[in-house]
Amino acid sequence: MKDKPASIYSGKLRVRAAGLLLTDEGLLLAELHSPASNELIWTPPGGGVEFGESIKDALKREYKEETGLDVSVDELIHINEFIQSEFHAIEFFFKVSNAVGTMNLGSDPEYSAENQILKKLSFFKQEDLSEINIKPVFLRKDFWEGRSSGLL
């Protein structure tokens, strides 16, 4: 039986932690097939918080699973509420730093090998973000304004 992405995340509230890793190369984003919009999007690596797991521990685990990198979780930068059809998520975006390891595209353990939603990892400079389907949209402009004011 094939995985159906909507069946995993739909009909319940999902708490998601995502990491904003900014280096000289740019902001690290993961391309994935969005179960909510059924399209390819670019978004910061991260994933769902499991019952009994702290949000920062969840982010460290998810970041390692998706990128192969161990990171330190720093301050909370943004909270995004996503509601679309049968999907509802509250997403917490943290600055991450001290990335250690070899970056490589990982996998999402909720999906079988042939049905992975993760597609690519890449760094993007601010000027390149207008050319991609990035979610959430605060990453196009507001995120970078915080960077120029010394928040990042």
- Nearest Cα neighbor of 118 from 28, 19, 33, 8 is 33
Whole-angstrom distance, CA of residue 10 vs CA of residue 3: 13
With a pLDDT cut of 70, the percent of the chain lying above it is: 90
pTM, 2 dp? 0.88
Q: Between β-strands 87-100 and 22-23, what pairing exists: parallel, antiparallel or unpaired?
A: unpaired
Band (148; pLDDT cuts 50, 70, 90): low
Q: How many helices (H) and strands (E) does the chain have?
A: 3, 8
Q: Tens digit of pLDDT for each residue in 26-68?
A: 999 999 998 888 899 999 999 999 999 999 999 999 999 999 9
